[in-house]
Amino acid sequence: MGLRSQTQSVLMAREARVVSSLHSDIVMYMKQSHAALVPDLLLDRVAQRFRILGDTSRLSILRLLVERGELTVGAIVAALDMSQANVSKHLRQLLDAGIVMRRAEGTSAYYSVVDNSVERLCSIVCDRIESQVKAEAAALG
């Protein structure tokens, strides 16, 4: 094993320990403080975030941006077979929510996902739904 590989292995092991330690600290804090998962003052913001993510068109746009990276409105329109007005409306809502960012270049506007929690949240929900579908299929036959 070369020096570079050894260094990468050591760094990855350290990172895993830090993440594990951080997770343990968070769990311990939650148990000790008996804190609610979401403070009452933030419930409206959380509900708003779920409303933004609760639309099939916006989820389709986000999935496309996660898969392909930064795209123009025209590229999104072509890929999703949606009208430009509809795509623009949904991008505006995602932009206002701080989920995507807009970069202007000449006459084009480029959009990309800036809130990394969206991808993690969607992964959690999709994994859970997949598990439920498999369990339902197994129960049926």
- CATH number of the domain where residue 75 is located: 1.10.10.10
Q: Tell whether 15 and 64 lie within a shared domain.
A: no
Q: 104: helix, coil or strand?
A: strand
In a domain, 119, yes or no: yes
Q: Answer yes or no: do 85 and 45 share one domain.
A: yes
Residue pLDDT, tens place only, 89-133:
999 999 999 999 999 999 999 999 999 899 999 899 999 999 999
Q: If you average pLDDT over residues 17-41, what whole number do you get?
A: 57
Summarised one tens digit per residue, pLDDT across range 51-99 is 999 999 999 999 999 999 999 999 999 999 999 999 999 999 999 999 9
On whether both 23 and 51 belong to a single domain, the answer is no
In 54-98, which ranges are continuous DSSP H helix?
Answer: 56-68, 73-80, 84-96
Return d(Cα 55, Cα 65) in angstroms, integer: 15
Same domain as 64, residue 26: no
Regarding whether 47 and 107 lie in a shared domain, the answer is yes
Query: Are residue 49 and residue 21 in the same domain, yes or no?
Result: no
Q: How many domains, in total, are found in the chain?
A: 2
Ordered strands of the 100-105 beta sheet: 71-72, 108-113, 100-105
38 pLDDT band, cuts 50/70/90, is confident
15 with 49, same domain?
no
Shared domain check, 87 and 19: no
Query: pTM of whole model > 0.75?
Result: no
What CA–CA distance (Å, rounded) separates 112 from 70? 4
Looking at the structure, tell me whether residues 55 and 98 fall in a common domain.
Answer: yes
- Residue 40 pLDDT more than 90? no
User: Is 119 found in the same domain as 96?
Assistant: yes
Structural domain contains residue 15: yes
| Domain, as residue range, for 7 | 3-35
108 and 53 in one domain?
yes
Whether residue 135 lies inside any domain: the answer is: no
